[in-house]
Structure 1
């Protein structure tokens, strides 16, 4: 998987406006309606991550999820990160 340059990363971020870049990662915070909804989001993300063979870092704090994406094998951000970020946005929308 090819690394995206800064220009490509900035362009791709326009398609996932809830995400922000921090170094070689993109990050997002999701606040679910309640704890069970937060767990449902994580479950749905897990299924999608397995399909894409690309897995986010997820920290669960009650009903708040902190997510980080990077392509470790490539050493930074790739198309896979933005594909999963967009899918996470779709998954989270009905639960927030």
Structure 2
């Protein structure tokens, strides 16, 4: 038995409407960010890694020079849950902090 309920298509759509820059469906949500430099991209990934570890919920991360893509899905449930939308919000907060620093 899983610990997090899958979100319905309407719930995912509603969450995506509130998450700037995120896209996806019931299987996965994702966002791509451009950092000002490669070291800045890595700093963002390190901060996201700390938050993800604390939440025991880990995104798939793709780093291409200054471009970082975060993909979120609750693998144990086979799709998007509230854990994913919560982590997306935290990633947005960290990205915003990096953009203004």
Structure 2 stretches lacking a partner, 5+ long: none
Q: Quick one: structure 1 residues 33 and 43, their matched pair in 2 at CA, closer, same or farther if it must change by over 3 Å?
A: same
Q: Normalized against structure 2, the TM-score is what?
A: 0.90
Higher relative contact order (CA 8 A, sep 6+): 1
Aligned residues: 96
SS in 1 for 2:18: coil
Output one character per residue of 1:24-79: Cα deviation in whole Å (capped at 9) or x when no partner: 11011010010110010000000000111100000110110011000000110000
**CA-atom RMSD, angstroms?**
1.1
Cross-structure match for 2:5: 2
Cross-structure match for 1:92: 95
CA–CA distance in structure 2, aligned partners of residues 94 and 17 of structure 1: 15
